[in-house]
Every structure is written in structure tokens, then in C-alpha cells.
Amino acid sequence: MAWGDNYTLLYNEACVPIIGAKHPQALGRNPSVAFAETWPAVAPLFDLAYRDGKSTKIHKTEVLLRRRIDMTVSS
């Protein structure tokens, strides 16, 4: 759930596997910071819901989410 003008993230324990290693840092943060890699794709949906009070759905769209923070590449 996104709360207020800043879309503060609130979620329960059931969401932790989806959020992955970004938990608990994502809790209480703006999704544009917590999920910067997906924000450009989903920001318009948040804005529509907040501004116009309309629910939305995404059909047949892939949104890549980094669930691990330690994304290191070894050579």
C-alpha cells in the first residue's frame, strides 16, 4: 500500500518474499527510491490512483524488480 502524497510504502509480512532483500529498508520509504528500477513503469499508475481515485491493472507487462541488494558481478 502507498500512503499519502509521498506514496509511503506500507506492507505486511506476506509481501516480504516479493520485496526480498530490500526489506526492511523499503518499509516507510517512497517507492521511487526503494524501487527505482521499476518506478518509471509504475509511477503513472500510482499518480492515476492518487489523483483521480481510479484503480488500475497492468496486463501482459513485465516489470523487472531487483529483489537482492548485493548485485555484484565477479569476473
* Domains in the chain: boundaries: 1-75
Calculate the alpha carbon distances from 16 to 7, 23, 25, 47, 75 in Å: 18, 6, 11, 24, 31
Contact (CB, 8 A) for 53 and 46: no
Report field, pTM of the whole predicted structure over 0.75: no
pLDDT, one tens digit per residue, over 6-62 is: 999 999 999 998 898 899 999 999 999 999 988 998 899 899 899 988 888 878 877
